[in-house]
Amino acid sequence: MELKVARTEHSNKPKKIDVEKIKDMVEKEGSVILYFDRDNSHKDLLELQDIFESEGKSFYMREVRYGLSENEYMYEVHIL
């Protein structure tokens, strides 16, 4: 499964990251904070949550709004 990382500019396309890369980051760092693009489906993020919680990790996700428009948001994910 691949997820899209949050854009750094409105005109840029989001970059992709796969679950194995995220697992490596968590293994190396112990805890990770990631920002995912609004183009990801909520279902995919819940699937990511299931993956990490099945491994005994804590997973926190919230929606971060950075503007007044409906589509100006991203997902913030903490994996501990």
For 33-74, the pLDDT digits (tens) are 999 999 999 999 999 999 999 999 999 999 999 988 888 999
- Please report the pLDDT score of residue 10 as a whole number: 80
Domain count, the chain: 1
Tell me the residue range of the domain where 6 lies.
1-27
In a domain, 71, yes or no: no
pTM exceeds cut of 0.85:
yes
pLDDT at 80: 95
Q: Is residue 35 part of a domain?
A: no
Confirm whether 7 is domain-assigned. Answer: yes
Is 73 part of any domain?
A: no
In the chain, the amino acid numbered 13 is: K
Domain-embedded: residue 61: no
Asked whether residue 58 is domain-assigned, the answer is: no
